[in-house]
Amino acid sequence: MDKKVLQKLSYGVYVVSAMDGDRPTGCVVNTVMQITSSPATVAVSVHHDNYTHDCIVKNGRFAVSILSQDSDPAVIAAFGFRSGRDTDKFTMVKRTDFGGMPVIADAVGHLTCRVIGKLETDTHTVFLGEVEDAGMASAAQPMTYAYYHEVVKGKSPKNAPTYQEETPPKQDKPVYVCSVCGHVYDGDIPFEELPEDWVCPVCKQPKSVFQKR
Ligand SMILES: Cc1cc2nc3c(=O)[nH]c(=O)nc-3n(C[C@H](O)[C@H](O)[C@H](O)COP(=O)(O)O)c2cc1C
């Protein structure tokens, strides 16, 4: 089986959010898709280990923020590489509320959904959500998953359904790989000479989390 062909499937980049009691939380997903138009219904696949998963199960509701090519990279760094278990992600970005559901303020638009069904796999739950409210916020270009990889040079962590382990290309000099998001440093300045306050361009974690391979 050539799993590389799975990388030819197309997706967008979203934040799926939910309430955790009084506190809003959420995570980046690429797996939102529309299932039917009447009543408007979407599906999203969320890893069992993601804190957002438990919050959606508890509340029976979720919101989707459609990220744009202009979305603040801090959104993906916070929502895609940290957990709501120990991080208040919505204090790091601007938020708007719709019907009591938190949404990323600089998104292209939002959906708020009521869970009407669930499908379990070994690792992920596919939530089916009937759309309760939907709105456009900007005319910016939605970010595709291909744009995230090719232009932003972003990576996907292990909990993303599309994760595939990458082997850094063989070369003579050492390669520095971010242990949080998998970004392989490829700048002109030798890694050792980067200033101590330098951070990973994808997940914004410090230089110290990079491992020499
Ligand atoms: C580009 C990208 C796409 C992702 N897609 C998904 C996804 O579709 N489903 C999922 O469960 N996790 C996905 N993730 C991983 C979660 O966003 C990540 O594990 C997050 O830290 C979970 O946060 P939480 O514990 O607060 O829920 C993705 C991450 C990135 C960066």
pLDDT per residue as tens digits for the range 172-190: 778 898 887 778 888 889 9
Residues 106 and 185 in one domain: no
Read off the pLDDT of residues 142-154 as tens digits, 9 standing for 90 and up: 999 999 888 877 7
- Which pLDDT score is estimated for 166? 67
Range of the domain at 172: 165-213
| 21-45: burial string, b at 16+ Cβ within 10 Å, e else | eeebbbbbbbbbeeeeeeeebbbbb
Residues 119 and 189 in one domain: no
Residues 134 and 182 in one domain: no
Ligand 1, pocket-test mutation among 27, 54, 149, most atoms within 8 A of CB = 27
Does residue 6 belong to any structural domain of this protein? Answer: no
Residues 22 and 121 in one domain: yes
Ligand 1 proximity of 161 Cβ (cutoff 6 Å):
yes
| 68-107: burial string, b at 16+ Cβ within 10 Å, e else | beebbeebbbbbbbbebeeeebbebbebeeeeebbbbebb
- Structural domain count, the chain: 2
Dist. CA 189 → ligand 1 center (Å): 31
The ligand 1 atom at the shortest distance from the C-alpha of residue 28 is 17
Ligand 1, pocket-test mutation among 65, 127, 159, most atoms within 8 A of CB = 159
Residues 125 and 63 in one domain: yes
Residues 94 and 40 in one domain: yes
Other CB atoms within 10 Å distance of the CB of residue 181:
21
Cα dihedral: 202, 208, 209, 211 (round 10): 110
Read off the pLDDT of residues 192-213 as tens digits, 9 standing for 90 and up: 999 999 998 877 889 998 998 8
